[in-house]
Each structure stands twice: as structure tokens, then as C-alpha cells.
Structure 1
Amino acid sequence: MRALVKVAPGPGLELTDVPDPVAGPGDVVVRVLRTGICGTDLHIDSWDEWAARNVTAPLVVGHEFAGEVVEAGAAVTGVRVGDLVSGEGHLVCGTCRNCRAGRRHLCANTRGLGVHRDGAFAQYVVLPAANAWVHRDPVDLDVAAIFDPFGNAVHTALSFPVVGEDVLITGAGPIGLMTAAVARHAGARNIVITDVSEHRLDLARKVGVDLAVDVSRSTIADAQAELGMSEGFDVGMELSGQPAAMRDMIANMAHGGRIAMLGLPAAEFPVDWSSVVLKMLQIKGIYGREMFETWYSMSVLLQAGLDLTPVITHRFHHTEYEKAFATAREGRCGKIVLDWEN
């Protein structure tokens, strides 16, 4: 089969032939139809310090995908040949305390599809049947391909109640855009999103935020004044990984406010912890999706009319992967999808 491979340590990926995957007793083989490009894939492509520490080449990359099950192992139940599935890319051990308690998203032994084992930028991918989310209702293939990052957005947006609340989102990348769409759908009152990219702020306006703020030109305090707010934001969702964004968020939170933090900083940075204490703020780290409660929420949100199509801005054939990766790296885009059907 054809696959996009990190052939050896160093920058670049190669579209090449590799052996077809083989299903174990508890696995399924999926014919990949669509894949999404993630920031993790960009790290592996450029072979930065993080990739050099975490990835062993050769490796088939990619973890956001949707496809059709073409083979099921002898021990598989609940997933059948012909099912359309998306893949949960976090592979857990099943035996640690959290896994045995049903808190699989907290497994300390989590391995990543397309990071620690061969992934989904390929014509076929194998994964545990327990990690295959079967779509029981009609779903757009492009949307199905981005269920992994959509899950990050849902996990972040619904970590705290948002009905009637004023919400601040820092970072208008693809996950930030989906987070805003979920918060709007879930009943938030005012939603403010910040970034320094006017292109992404325009996309945010399309998904229904009340204010999209370029923080290189104005402040979050200005946004509060424009919306008639006087006591700060009730819920914060930090998705940028930028120190200044987290500090600004803390400074603009209401007393008793709650912050869900998905953005992963590149290095340690100082925070005004006295404000955290005196305002009695809650800060919750978010990693991936709650397995599989978040997945149920995702499907229900789509059934209830949540529209993610404005977030998907570019589609490429998988043979155009270099152009697709370059587009993703430029940042003037939302989500980018690769087509593997032909």
C-alpha cells in the first residue's frame, strides 16, 4: 500500500510503498478515506526537538482519519466489515489503575497512533477495535476525519458548564474554532476569541463568536467593555499555548472563574498565582478526549445541527501532501483534509 512515511530521522516525509497492515485478534483494518493534518504531524515533518525525542523512524504518520472497516479480527465484536469509523488515536494500556476504573483518558501509559506506532496517512491502517468509533448516523467524510481534534474541542468546551456564561477562548486555530462553535451551540452568552491572525479571526466570526479580537491591536479588557461586561469571564479556554495568552486570561477572569487549558506551552513560564488564589480560579488541564463519553457528545452535537464545515478550509489529494503541509504551516487556513479514496 501507499503511505506517508518518516523514512529516517530528519526533516521531510516520503510517499512510498509499505506492507499492508495485519489485524490481530482484537484489531480492525480500515481502508482510509480521509485524513486530517494535525500540528503533531507538522512537528514530525519538520523533525523538531519534540519529534526527535518521541518518534522512532521509520514510521507511518497521521492519526486523524475516517474510513471503512475491511477486516475484523477473530475476537472483535461490535465493529463489522463495512462500518464507517473514525479512530481514537490514544492507545491505552487497559491495565493501569485509571484504565481499570474506566478513566482511560488518564492512562499514564498512553501511546499515540502515528507517533509511537504506524498511523493513518496510508491506504490502510490497523488499530484496536475498541478505538474504532462507528458512525451510526450519516456524517460528512471530511467531518468524520477530524473527530480526533473535534474531540479535543468538545472536551475543552464542555469541561465546565457554559449555559448563559461569558466565555473567553485564546487561540483561533482549528481546535479553537471548533471549541467556539461548541460553546455557542451549548448556550454560552458572550464568546470572545483572541488571536493575531486576521484570517483565523475571520473564520471565528463565521462560526458565531461575538467578538474576534486581534490582541496585537486591542486588549481583552477592551472586549469586555464593548460587551458591557464588568466582572470578567466565567469560563476560559486556553488553546494557544502562548504564555501571554494564559496571563491575559487569568487577568480577565471573574472571581470563581474556571479555565480549561488545552494549549501546550513550549517551555515553562511565570503565572500570577496570587490572582489564581485571590480570585479562587480553577484550572483544568485537557489532553485528548474522555474515552468514550466525549465521542458520544460529538455525535450528538452533529445530530443536533452543529456545523463544522466552516472550519474545514482546504482539501487535497494525498499525493499533494507537500502542498497541503505547506498550506498548514503558513497558518492561513482552518482544518486541512487529505483524500485517500483514489
Structure 2
Amino acid sequence: MMSGKMKALIKAAGEPGAVCDLVPIPEIGQREVLIKVKAASICGTDVHIYNWDEWAKNRVKPPYVFGHEFSGEVAAVGENVSSVKEGDFVSAETHFVCGKCIPCLTGKQHVCSNTMILGVDTEGCFAEYVKVPESNIWKNPPGMPEDLASIQEPLGNAVHTVLSGIAAGSKTAIVGCGPIGLMAVAVAKTAGASQVIAIDKNEYRLELAVKMGATATISIEKEDTLKNVSALTNGEGADLVCEMSGHPTAICQSLKMAANGGRVHILSLPEHPVCIDMTNDIVFKGLTVQGITGRKMFETWRQVSDLLHSGAIQIKPVITHHFSLEEYEKGFELMREGQCGKVILIP
């Protein structure tokens, strides 16, 4: 087994920011895998932790290494590991599930009652090495670019959100064009949506949405969102609305812009309870509202890997910046400003 020190990005204390320092290389157990990280991408969750907002204060326990989206090469395996070997190119499902609760036993591991998350509840991947249970490893196809392989986890969120309901031929609205929202634009387009309407206030990201396949964009600070969606859909509303912003107003508008009998899929995580008009905006419209969390294990991973490896989906434009791990402050500042797509850190 490996020993020694490694570079890592540490959430050192209960305050904004992080520190790049040396920490011990993780020791692995009998059913664990040690991975040399080749690329790690910054997620919105990481920004919450970096900013030390209310969610982070109530969830994470510094000091620890954070980060959860990555690709890398297997460096060592536990003595009871049989499905991967040293040298394999891998990524990982970041939700560690118990395998014993009713959701796990009935094929719904993505809503495991006892989920722990890599880099949130455990030591993460903003480091030279990360350890992961064998059961969470996903083997990547040979030749997949390391940066693309590192964003399969968030792309899985987008795939799960869009493909859990109607997509082919549908009028689809993506509300919130952060990195996962931008990926959802590409997924909807690839899945055959007749329209993909991207909605945000950030002009930089609306321009990226067009590169990802949006057929129309709406700037909420310059245009009337509901009137524009109505006009674009011949007054019918969107058949599928994917809510990715977490803003209370956007959530309420998502319900209102949906077509009668349509679907609203909510991936976002509002910081506070949201007041909605359930009677008029859900019940009388006959909407199906579905909460989306994580990825189906491992159905979504297979979809993501095959979409990328086949070239069926063009996701590269969402990756806008690469930095060394030591340049993490540049990456997090771009994320906080919203002047980027996906930011990749290279340990």
C-alpha cells in the first residue's frame, strides 16, 4: 500500500475559503480502491462549502479534503477487490449507499435512506489521491478525455433530470443555466426535444446555452419569462420544465410555465422553504412534479458513458477553464461570479 504525503485542497476551518496543503495519502481497506486523480471539477456544492454558507455550516465538519467529481487511474486496490485493477481509468459514483434500507433493497439506491457523499461527508477528491469503495467505481472507456470523464457525475444529474420524463418531441424549458443546467440543455437537445428554452439572468451562460443546443434563450432581467415561454410554445406552455436554479421565484414560475398535464423536474436545492400555489399551479393543471436526486445506480452512469463515448452528445463547450490545484482560488472566483461553465482542477 502507498504511504506518504499528497497535495490536497482542505476546508480547514468554519470560515470562507480553503487551503492547499500536504496531508497523508489515504489508507484503503479490504474493499476500497485508491485512485490517482487526473482531473477534478468544481461543483456548486463545493462553492457552498468554499463560501461557508448556511447549508455548509449545518452539513460539513472541517478540517477535511472536499471535492467529489473526478477521473483518475487506479493506484492500489484492497485485498478483496476483484472488479478493478491497478492502471484502470475510472470515475466514481459519489453517493455511498448502505445497501440495506428499503430503497436500496428495491432498486432505488439513489434515494438510499443512509446516503453519505464523497467530499461532503467523507474525504474528497481535490487531492492527488482519493479512496472510494469498490462498489462505487465506474470504469471509463479507453481514450475518454480526462476532463470529460471527470464531469460524468454532474452530467448524470442532467441526464437523470431530463430523461425521467418526456423529452423526444417535447417543448422543454431549462430554468437556471449553471453547469448542470447547461448540460441539461445538451441532453434535451440530444434526446430530441423540439424546443429547448434556456432561462437565466447571466448573459455569459445564456451564450453558452446556445453553444450547447438551446433553440431560444430568455434573460430574466430583460424579458418577461412567462410571456416569452407562452409565445414560444403557442400559448401551451412547456411540456417539460427542468428547474435547476433553486430561486423561489424561478420555482414558482416553473410551475406556471408548464403546460397543462406537463412535467416539472426539480434538481435544485432551495436554501429555504418555498411557498407555491399548489391548487392553481399543480392540481388544476394536472402537473407531475418530480424531485431529482443523484443518479440511478448504475443505469444513469451507463447512459452518460455511452452518450459521451459514442459522440451522440456534444458536451465539451461546457468545460471552459482548467487550473492547477494550487490555482484553486481562480476557479472558485469564476464559479462565484458565474463567468464560467465547468472549471477543472488538475492536481
Going from structure 1 to structure 2, the CA distance change for 1:214 and 1:25 (only over 3 Å counts) comes to same
Q: Does 1:235 align with 2:240?
A: yes
Q: Does 1:287 align with 2:293?
A: yes
Tell me, in whole angstroms, the C-alpha distance in 1 between the residues paired with 2:89 and 2:309.
16
Q: Paired residue for 1:119? A: 124
User: What's the RMSD between the two structures over aligned residues?
Assistant: 1.2
Tell me, in whole angstroms, the C-alpha distance in 1 between the residues paired with 2:303 and 2:243.
21
TM-score under structure 2 length normalisation: 0.95
Q: 2:326 aligns with which of 309, 319, 325?
A: 319
- Secondary structure of 2:37 counterpart: strand
Going from structure 1 to structure 2, the CA distance change for 1:203 and 1:226 (only over 3 Å counts) comes to same
**Stretch of structure 1 that moved more, 309-318 or 2-11:** 2-11
Q: Is the 8 A contact 2:171 2:238 kept in 1?
A: yes
Q: Post-superposition shift, 1:19?
A: 0.8
Q: 2:216 aligns with which of 211, 231, 239?
A: 211
Q: Is the 8 A contact 1:192 1:223 kept in 2?
A: no
Q: Post-superposition shift, 1:157?
A: 1.0
**Stretch of structure 1 that moved more, 194-203 or 78-87:** 78-87
Q: Is the 8 A contact 2:89 2:142 kept in 1?
A: no
Tell me, in whole angstroms, the C-alpha distance in 2 between the residues paired with 1:277 and 1:160.
18
Q: Does 1:24 align with 2:33?
A: no
Tell me, in whole angstroms, the C-alpha distance in 2 between the residues paired with 1:90 and 1:223.
38
Q: Paired residue for 1:178? A: 183
Gaps of 5+ in 1: none
**Stretch of structure 1 that moved more, 166-175 or 212-221:** 212-221
Gaps of 5+ in 2: 1-5
Query: Quick one: which amino acid aligns to residue 33 of structure 1?
Result: K
Q: Is the 8 A contact 1:11 1:46 kept in 2?
A: yes
Tell me, in whole angstroms, the C-alpha distance in 1 between the residues paired with 2:104 and 2:79.
24
Tell me, in whole angstroms, the C-alpha distance in 2 between the residues paired with 1:23 and 1:264.
33
Q: 1:62 aligns with which of 38, 44, 67?
A: 67
Q: Paired residue for 2:76? A: 71
Q: Post-superposition shift, 1:80?
A: 1.5
Query: Quick one: which amino acid aligns to residue 152 of structure 2?
Result: F
**Stretch of structure 1 that moved more, 244-253 or 191-200:** 244-253
Give percent identity, aligned residues only. 44
Q: Is the 8 A contact 2:171 2:233 kept in 1?
A: no
Q: Post-superposition shift, 1:102?
A: 2.3
Q: 1:276 aligns with which of 249, 271, 282?
A: 282
TM-score under structure 1 length normalisation: 0.97
Aligned length in residues? 340
- Secondary structure of 2:82 counterpart: coil
Q: Post-superposition shift, 1:137?
A: 4.1
